[in-house]
């Protein structure tokens, strides 16, 4: 059957592609097809730049088989990330952008794939692929791409949200998001209450990754200057009424863990004092029911309380903390939440989940 994918007759190629695509929708069959990786993948790839109907069948099959370790290894060997990005940039596969992005999401679920996408070690090229994807992801965030890109997908670039947490595991990925003047952090924050769950959770994961490593990366000041983005995050995490209700639980957990990481930084904590974040965090904590969020907010409280009550701690933040907090009024009262929350360090959650097309016939 794989041999017919390269037949001279286009109608036979089309029939073979339909058969392969149907088989790749069944996991047990995919496992057997993976044994033919060295012949299957090239046979499918030859159809990707062709006419749309052939290209879409081939890409759907590639996305589905890319879940298999043997296929993934092969895709990494042939630098599939670079190929897919070339197709996207050159508009080689018009109307199939959604499938190219899904394939990238699967490949970048492996750290080696994420490194390829980020072009690590390639000097001035480093991060350009991700910047390109991020641009399209944000450009079409509020636009139906089915008309603009002549595709059947309503949101052709939604699966960039699956790539972002994978990419921001690496410093090069975080630098793209936090590059001064790009406005990417604010744009990602605007997606946190999107109607699209994939966009919400992917952006939250990427933001948390950036916050988690801010001290190590030396990006504390860059984050501190993103006041608009921080206000959005605080509103969704601790706001009252509609703003808080709009945020999904998974998103709020990620944002809470990210805020805990920011609270550890003297530079960002000083900014949070000036933004009156302590009062917001306190109010949010008072009616919080999510255990993960509570633990993260209790961790934040520990750092803010050190500024407010320990002489010489926190320097600028400590001085402002004293003004705002007085005799502890700016802190979060954590004794109501079962005590030992402050002793628990919040660890980053693994967010590298694979993108799968299910039951495409």
Domain ranges of the chain: 1-78, 89-167, 180-346
- The pLDDT of residue 76 is above 50: yes
Please give the helix or strand (H or E) that residue 232 lies within, else none: helix 227-238
- φ and ψ of 172, to 5 deg: -60, -35
- The pLDDT of residue 90 is above 80: yes
- The distance in angstroms from the start CA to the end CA of the chain is 18
- The whole-angstrom separation of Cα 83 and Cα 97 is 13
Question: Does the pTM of the predicted model rise above 0.85?
Answer: no
Encode pLDDT of 171-227 as tens digits. 999 999 999 988 999 999 999 989 899 999 999 999 999 999 999 999 999 999 999
Mean model confidence pLDDT for the chain: 84
- The pLDDT of residue 306 is above 90: no
pLDDT at 1: 81
Under 8 Å between Cβ of 216 and 267: no
Which architecture characterizes domain 180-346 according to CATH?
Alpha Horseshoe (1.25)
Helix (H, G, I), strand (E, B) or coil at 131: helix
Percent of the chain with pLDDT over 70: 80
- The pLDDT of residue 299 is above 80: yes
pLDDT at 248: 84
């Amino acid at each position: 059957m794989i041999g017919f994918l390269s037949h001279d007759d286009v109608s036979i190629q089309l029939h073979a592609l339909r058969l392969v695509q149907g088989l790749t929708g069944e996991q047990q069959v995919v496992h057997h097809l993976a044994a033919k990786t060295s012949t299957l993948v090239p046979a499918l790839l030859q159809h990707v730049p062709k006419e749309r109907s052939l290209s879409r069948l081939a890409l759907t099959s590639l996305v589905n088989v890319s879940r298999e370790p043997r296929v993934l290894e092969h895709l990494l060997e042939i630098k599939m990330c670079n190929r897919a990005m070339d197709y996207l940039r050159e508009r080689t596969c018009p109307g199939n952008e959604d499938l190219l992005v899904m394939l990238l999401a699967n490949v970048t679920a492996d750290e080696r794939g994420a490194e390829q996408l980020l072009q690590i070690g390639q000097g001035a090229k480093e991060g350009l692929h991700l910047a390109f994807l991020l641009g399209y992801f944000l450009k079409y965030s509020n636009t139906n791409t089915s008309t603009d890109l002549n595709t059947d997908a309503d949101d052709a670039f939604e699966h960039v949200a699956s790539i972002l947490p994978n990419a921001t595991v690496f410093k090069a990925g975080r630098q793209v998001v936090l590059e001064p003047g790009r406005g990417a952090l604010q744009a990602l924050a605007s997606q946190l209450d999107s109607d699209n769950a994939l966009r919400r959770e992917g952006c939250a994961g990427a933001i948390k990754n950036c916050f988690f490593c801010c001290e190590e990366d030396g990006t504390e000041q860059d984050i501190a200057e993103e006041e608009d983005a921080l206000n959005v995050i605080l509103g969704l995490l601790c706001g009252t009424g509609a703003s808080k209700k709009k945020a999904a639980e998974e998103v709020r957990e990620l944002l809470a863990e990210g805020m805990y990481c920011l609270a550890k930084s003297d530079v960002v904590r000083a900014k949070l004092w000036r933004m009156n974040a302590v009062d917001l965090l306190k109010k949010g904590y008072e009616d919080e029911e999510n255990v993960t969020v509570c633990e993260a907010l209790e961790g934040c409280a520990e750092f803010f309380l050190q500024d407010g009550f320990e002489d010489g701690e926190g320097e600028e933040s400590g001085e402002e903390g004293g003004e705002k907090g007085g005799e502890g009024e700016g802190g979060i009262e954590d004794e109501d939440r079962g005590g030992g929350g402050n002793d628990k360090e919040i660890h980053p959650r693994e967010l590298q989940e694979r993108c799968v097309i299910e039951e495409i016939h």
